[in-house]
Amino acid sequence: MPERVILAVDPGSHKCGVAVVDSSRRVRMRGVVETERLGDRIRELLEAHAVTEIAVGDRTASRRVRAQLSALAGGRPVVPVDEHLSTLEARQRYFQENPPRGLRRLIPLGLQVPPCPIDDLVAVLLAERCLAAGEPAQNWG
């Protein structure tokens, strides 16, 4: 089976999370970009990585971003991924990767908010969900 390389986008009104994840679930890159600059960043990532498909979250701002991604995809499938509870899951992952230190350790994690945007972690989760679904999904019609 050829390697799948997924460019995942967590669309938002003002900022988007982006991540490139391969079949072995190795995160090649992740970041947060302003929505108005998303097209330029997507072009860069498509050139830098051998992306086989593009996954996009199906909630906030997905229609506008989906149209933009379809125009840039160059024949690659642009597939929807269910975003249900992805922000909560990304928040949990953030604190697994960055456990609180000092007095913050005493505050329950459910009451803490990450000090930086986690849209990139949401994009990683969307890519992982896409990989877990098995074969590449059908293109968004």
16 burial (CB, 10 Å; 0-12 / 13-18 / 19+) is buried
Assess whether pLDDT exceeds 90 at residue 60. Answer: no
Name the pLDDT band for 59 (thresholds 50, 70, 90).
Answer: confident
Pairing of strands 15-22, 5-10: antiparallel
Fold of 5-132: Nucleotidyltransferase; domain 5 (3.30.420)
Question: What's the CA gap between 131 and 19, in Å, rounded?
Answer: 13
Q: At what angle do helices 38-48 and 62-72 cross, to 10 degrees?
A: 40
On average, the pLDDT of the chain sits at 93
Predicted confidence (pLDDT) at residue 33 exceeds the cutoff of 60: yes
Query: What pLDDT is recorded for position 1?
Result: 66
